[in-house]
Chain A
Amino acid sequence: MQESNLVKLAAAAFVAAALSAPALAADTIKIGVAGPHTGDLAPYGLPSKDAAEMVVADVNAKGGINGKKVELMIADDQCKPEIATNVATKLVSEGVNLVLGHVCSGATKAALGIYKGAKIITISPSATNPPLTKSGEYPNFYRTIAPDDDQAMLAASFATDKLNAKKVAILHDKGDYGKGFADFAKEAIEKGGKAKVVMYEGIQPGAMDYSAVIQKLRKEGADVLIFGGYHPEASKLLSLMNKRKINVPFIGPDGIKGDGFLKIAGKDAEGVYATGPMDVSKYPLNAKAREEYKAKYGKEPGTFFDQAYAAMLAALNAVKVAGSTDYEALGKALKSSQVETTVGKIKFDAKGDAEGVGFAVYQVKNGAFAEVK
């Protein structure tokens, strides 16, 4: 073969490849699923992945949406911001149309800038950090979970109105999530004027001992403790409190409302209050999805499964209504079209928060969370 032929051939192949790439992309609707799939936070990310896979299998079995199959692009961000930006770049460069994720607020924040630049809509099942929607900085961001300030306000009003607390102690784990919750709760209580915040402190996650903080709690005479953080620290605090015979009602965020907390805290969990997404088991779609999950995986679905399932349904509905994956059209569809999901009938408000989802207060009774009416 002559050299010029070789060059021509190569050029032809290149052109063909270049042309075929966008053509291929148009064939499917590409949805990125980003979250922690390995590492210690994987339990928060894997249920979302499972939910997305279930919804997509379902939709594709029925012939896809607008005649196109849905394709998932799974990407692991380990909840680390620097990995999340890489993951986002990767998804964007591979031509993703829509992203389900990310799971952690920090990683979401890091990745959102990239999606925003590429005009890609992102729906998170779990990133509850309020400014994500309320700052207006990320018009491409939506979520199927209520933001932290909602539940913090609920926790605060529950403490002052239902438990009639006069002196409230607030602790947090210094993390983005826990501290955010604690800050909003503090603000709500101070604004409400019904009680005083007598103690507001961060604790070191992973520390061996919190007895100093607990002694302080007693000294300040707090009659309610609001804690912002996750279940390991919550159960450690409770265990120490019970050993020291300090019986102060404990209110935590949805980070402790799960089996993980019940498992670790054991009998210390009894009587603990936690705010959490409203009970969604009454929705028929939810029951169905959970049944399917149990049939498929042989266990109960994990954290954020419902929200992720709902986000997927909302996203696909929007694609259907908009008739394309165009950014503007999708955004409009998400904000206008009501859709039946696992968390109820929802649509999104102007800032990207789902209307119709909210929080309720639960209490541990006989080893299970029960809604406090």
Chain B
Amino acid sequence: MSHLKRSLGIGLWFMFLTLPLMVVRVNTVSREVEWRWSNLVWVGICAFAIAWFWQFSIERRAAQRAKVAAEPHPEKDRPSLAQRLADDPVLSRRVLLAAALIALIFPWAVSTTQNFYHVNVMVSALIFVVLGLGLNITVGLAGLLDLGYIAFFAVGAYTYALLAKGFGLGFWMCLPLGGVMGMLFGVVLGFPILRLRGDYLAIVTLGFGSITKIVLENWDTVFGGAAGIAGIPRPDFFGLPLDGREKSIYTYYIVLALVAVTIFVTNRLKNSRVGRAWMALREDEIACVAMGVDMARTKLSAYALGAFWAGLAGVIFAAHNNFINPDSFTFMDSAMVLAMVVLGGMGSILGVIIASLALKLLPEYLRAFAEYRMLVFGAVMVLMMIFRPQGLINNMRRKYEYDTADVESNDGGK
């Protein structure tokens, strides 16, 4: 009953809250005021319903929390799907194989010589998968918040554009160069912010992102300014001429390979000395340093490596689009990549891939909802944090294999 009353109250509150913005619209040209009272009714009804549901969810969540607190080892009892997959090597191998097969066949299945729109869309999405996985190293594993990550992407893209247009360097030559340039920038920008703590890092990285964009915009003799750089060559395939579809599919395979390499590398690092140090740094900086981990080096390496992938992705982005200008590298893009990491689940490779694909593909195919896209995006970010802060897929720690008996005998022999 109290729920009902509260929901009613909340409904009324939201009717009050949205009154001026949703009901009144002042048309300054015709000098008329438009009153949209029906909106108010809808707001009231929706707020009431949502409030009802909200209280229910919060209660359930609290109950779950209590349960978790009561049981000391909850993870043991409810292994997630991802965990079960990871624990079963045969199954996980099969799933992986199937995914790889689908990914390989995909471009031929969905395209014709005329229509390869879907391939292009997928290339764009996969580029963001690489970005998401790269930022996952910096934010997800090492816990270094970066709100200007897209700047490294821009560095890669402009590196390729300038080298290809100015010096005629080929794509394959520029791909590693773009990555290295991204990494260099990562280190250069990483140095001054080593001492800064989480929140300061947020604004400084955001500032760096903006500065990069402003410099690209203003320094038009080098970067082409707001007009951007057009006519960037596509990746060359041993000098063979390719038609539009083949070019797209070729790019698709390149970026797919890059995704595979990124997954491989992230996975290797995650369960290594370096990866553990990153995570420890994320969990507790002081304890981490006190345990003998060099903070500066660890932070810089996470920063540089994240930037490296962004640089690589940038090169492919420039090659794929033939044209770049500073508009592709705004704060919203940084926020988008960050959202991919957070919504997917910090540190979780599979989660980040799913979130990246979802965030890039859904808007592309749901153009009809384009207007509401960003509204929903913002709301989802808030709701995810409240109801599923660990993201779509929880970052599972690997269980290391150790031979108890063997160690015991060592112990005994000592």
Contact = CB atoms under 8 A, between A and B. Distances in A.
Interface stretch (A61-69, A174-182, A313-321, A354-362): A174-182
Contact of A86 (B29, B124, B371): B124
A139 to B, nearest CB: 14
Contact of B29 (A76, A94, A137, A263): A263
A39 B371 CA distance: 7
A262 to B, nearest CB: 8
Interface in B220-266: 220, 225-228, 230-231, 244, 248
Contacts of A180: 227
Contacts of B322: 85, 110, 113-114
A60 interface: no
B271 interface: no
A174 B231 CA distance: 22
Interface stretch (B109-117, B134-142, B272-280, B297-305): B109-117
B218 interface: yes
Interface stretch (B35-43, B51-59, B70-78, B323-331): B323-331
A81 B324 contact: yes
Contacts of A204: 214
A113 B230 contact: yes
A110 B227 CA distance: 10
A109 B230 contact: yes
A95 B114 contact: yes
B327 A38 contact: no
B244 A106 contact: no
B228 A109 contact: yes
B28 interface: yes
A109 B323 contact: yes
A76 B373 CA distance: 15
Interface string A35-69: 00011000000000000000000000000000000
A106 B124 contact: no
A263 B121 contact: no
B115 A93 contact: yes
Contacts of B327: 80-81, 106
Given A81-B324, A113-B323, A106 B228 contact: yes
A202 interface: yes
A326 B240 CA distance: 28
B117 A106 contact: no
B124 A179 contact: no
Nearest to A175: B226
Contact of B367 (A76, A95, A110, A259): A76
B370 A89 contact: no
B321 A110 contact: yes
A110 B323 CA distance: 5
Contacts of A193: none
Nearest to A132: B230
B120 interface: yes
Contacts of B117: 86, 89-90, 93-94
A85 B321 contact: yes
Interface string B85-120: 000000000000000000000000000101111001
Residue from A106, A118, A129 with most neighbouring chain B CB atoms (10 Å): A106
Interface in A168-205: 174-176, 179-180, 202, 204
A85 B226 CA distance: 18
A92 interface: yes
B152 to A, nearest CB: 17
B327 to A, nearest CB: 7
Contacts of B370: 38-39, 76, 78
Nearest to A177: B226
A53 B115 CA distance: 25
B244 A263 contact: no
B217 interface: yes
A161 interface: no
A224 B317 CA distance: 43
A86 B328 CA distance: 14
A174 B28 contact: no
Interface in B343-390: 364, 367, 370-371
B326 to A, nearest CB: 9
Nearest to B234: A113
A82 interface: yes
A156 to B, nearest CB: 20
Nearest to B322: A113
User: Helix, strand, loop or mixed for chain A's interface?
Assistant: helix
A74 B117 CA distance: 15
A134 to B, nearest CB: 14
Nearest to A22: B114
A230 B364 CA distance: 29
A259 B370 CA distance: 26
A41 to B, nearest CB: 11
Interface string A72-112: 00001010111001100110111100000000011001100
B322 to A, nearest CB: 5
B225 A179 contact: yes
B321 A106 contact: no
A118 B244 contact: yes
B323 A179 contact: no
A255 to B, nearest CB: 14
A202 B218 contact: yes
A81 B220 contact: no
B226 A94 contact: no
A263 B321 CA distance: 38
Contact of B227 (A39, A93, A94, A129): A129
Given A90-B117, A118-B244, A259-B29, A137 B231 contact: yes
Contacts of A78: 370
Contacts of A113: 230-231, 322-323
A81 B328 contact: yes
B52 to A, nearest CB: 33
Interface in A261-279: 263
Contacts of A89: 116-117, 120, 244, 248
Top 6 nearest A-B pairs (CB, nearest first) are A93-B115, A110-B323, A90-B117, A176-B226, A38-B370, A176-B227
Interface of A: 38-39, 76, 78, 80-82, 85-86, 89-90, 92-95, 105-106, 109-110, 113-114, 117-118, 129, 137, 174-176, 179-180, 202, 204, 259, 263
Given A81-B228, A89-B120, A174-B217, 10 more contacts: A38-B370, A82-B317, A85-B322, A89-B116, A89-B248, A113-B230, A114-B322, A129-B227, A179-B227, A259-B29
29 contacts: A38-B367, A39-B370, A81-B321, A81-B325, A82-B124, A86-B117, A86-B120, A86-B124, A89-B116, A89-B117, A89-B248, A90-B115, A93-B115, A93-B117, A94-B115, A94-B117, A95-B114, A105-B227, A106-B228, A109-B230, A129-B227, A137-B231, A174-B225, A176-B227, A179-B220, A179-B227, A180-B227, A202-B218, A263-B28
Interface of B: 28-29, 112, 114-117, 120-121, 124, 214, 217-218, 220, 225-228, 230-231, 244, 248, 317, 321-325, 327-328, 364, 367, 370-371
